[in-house]
Amino acid sequence: MRVRAPHSEADSDESVPVASFSDAAASTPPSRATGLTRSTNPLKMPEPVIEDALRARAEQAESAAERLLEELAEPEHTPEKLHIPTTLTPSVSASSTQKTNGGSTLQKPPEGHAKQPGKSKAKAIPPVTPNDKRSALLRQAAAYQDSPPYKGGSHSIVERLKDNRNESSWWLKRISLLEQNRTNGDTPPSVETLQQCTSGLEHEMADVSQLKQLILICSQYLVISDDDPSQNSAPNAQSAEFWDQGSRFKELSQALFRYLTPEKSEDILEYGLILLWEMIENQSAYMEGRESDILSLLFHLRYANMQTVAEASNTIRDALTTRVDPVYGLTITHSSLKRFLAEPVPTTSSPDARALSHAFGLLAIGKFILRLPSEILEEELPRLQLTLSKSLNDSQLLVREAAASAIIAAQLVLRDETYLFTMLASLSDEKKNLLTYLFDKHGARGPVEGVTGGSAPAGGLDKLEKEMKRLDSRTSTPLRKP
């Protein structure tokens, strides 16, 4: 192989002999040729060319090292360029910038990048693989945390819906009527007005306007209990005189119970139930002993197959289950339900409609059971076992679910499923297994042999209340008309 020897510009026009490796080896002294051949100049190139090449390579290496150090100290894909929120980016190192006395900011060179006197190369540091954009984003995403749960403040929307669960159309009509009367400031109605409206109910001639007048009368003439010493006796005496010691109120209640039938229009039934609510709320002393008549009225009015009537009956029933003595309430509810089921189904209705009232009564029994002590419930269960057993084997699914909820309520009070199944001996093994599953689902299992920790977990009552609300919603859904 032959290469052309270097030449200057002055000699560019002259022909230059071609040099060969054999000629270079022959013209070099032995000692010098041997050393350069094994080390840096195997081709016998002139010394200036070799030194320039080595110097260029060294400068190139130094420049590459400086760029690598700059990239390590200031990566190209910084969090600021990635548009990541400042709250998620790590704090900038204090050594990256520094302020001068004049307030201007000077960029501090990366650590190890400044050259030391007498040295041409930067201080070597171990190479580090820079973080790419993907890994930086994943690391920032991993730093996200869920917001802490909100504590305190206003109630959640679910709690507000629970508080307003009774605000159906009939309840809103009641509020609107009372607020309108309060705004107008009309004079209190007279006894003659009460007698005229009562006569209209007795002769089946009452209309919505007369029902509204009776509602305002009951809301204004309250019968305050004598057991409350904080109340003034003057309003109670005035109300007693207006109601003629309760005789006029008795005539009104009897006329109302006969007047309200499922065949009446929806407006009549709505305002009639509003009147019934005002009588329970404001003349409770005169309504004592009439709870059985109220429940019987509610059972029959549900044949109307109207959602507003069903929702109103649920609200009135819940008011009774919380105010009436639980033993007395359980007794009258059970007897009213048995009388209702013994009656034939009206020709204008259907067995499905009666099933809704049947489930309505079983839910009332379950609510009373939850208020009983376990000792009293053990005495009452034998009277209920036939009704509960038949209902649990009813052909209607809604009736079976309502009966199961009443039995679950009894188990929550007793915590003794062995005794409960003894009282319900007529049940088949299949029904007992189903009830055992439901007890476990609602956290109502009592102490079981061979199982430690017989106490039921918290929340069993809450689960049962949710189940009863679900069943109430189903009983309030009107049936499809054929």
Task: Kindly tell me the burial class for residue 301, based on how many C-beta atoms sit within 10 Å of its own C-beta (0-12, 13-18, 19 or more).
Answer: buried
Which DSSP category does 190 fall into?
A: P
The rounded distance, in Å, linking the Cα atoms of 10 and 16 is 12
Question: Six-digit token pair at 387?
Answer: 């009704």
Q: Which of 181, 210, 205, 357 is nearest to 275 (CA)?
A: 210
Neighbours of 399 (CB within 10 A): 22
The residue with tokens 């009372």 is: 178
421: left (phi over 0), alpha (psi -120 to 50) or beta: alpha
Which DSSP category does 128 fall into?
A: -
CB 167 within 8 A of CB 195: no
Question: Six-digit token pair at 320?
Answer: 């009774």
290 three-state secondary structure? coil
Q: Which of 357, 398, 406 is nearest to 381 (CA)?
A: 406
The residue with tokens 């204008």 is: 348
Q: How far is CA 294 from CA 66, 79, 197, in A?
A: 95, 72, 20
Q: How far is CA 182 from CA 176, 187, 236, in A?
A: 10, 10, 21
39 three-state secondary structure? coil
Tens of each residue's pLDDT in the chain, 482 residues: 444 444 444 444 444 444 444 444 444 444 444 444 444 455 555 566 677 778 888 888 888 888 777 766 655 555 444 555 555 555 444 444 444 444 444 444 444 444 444 444 455 666 666 666 667 767 776 666 655 554 444 444 444 444 454 566 788 888 988 888 887 766 778 899 999 999 999 999 999 999 999 999 999 999 866 555 445 555 577 888 899 888 999 999 999 999 999 999 999 999 999 999 999 999 988 999 999 999 999 999 999 999 999 999 999 999 999 999 999 999 999 999 999 999 999 998 899 999 999 999 999 999 999 999 999 999 999 999 999 999 999 999 999 999 999 999 999 999 888 889 888 888 888 999 999 999 988 887 765 544 444 444 446 788 999 999 999 999 998 888 76
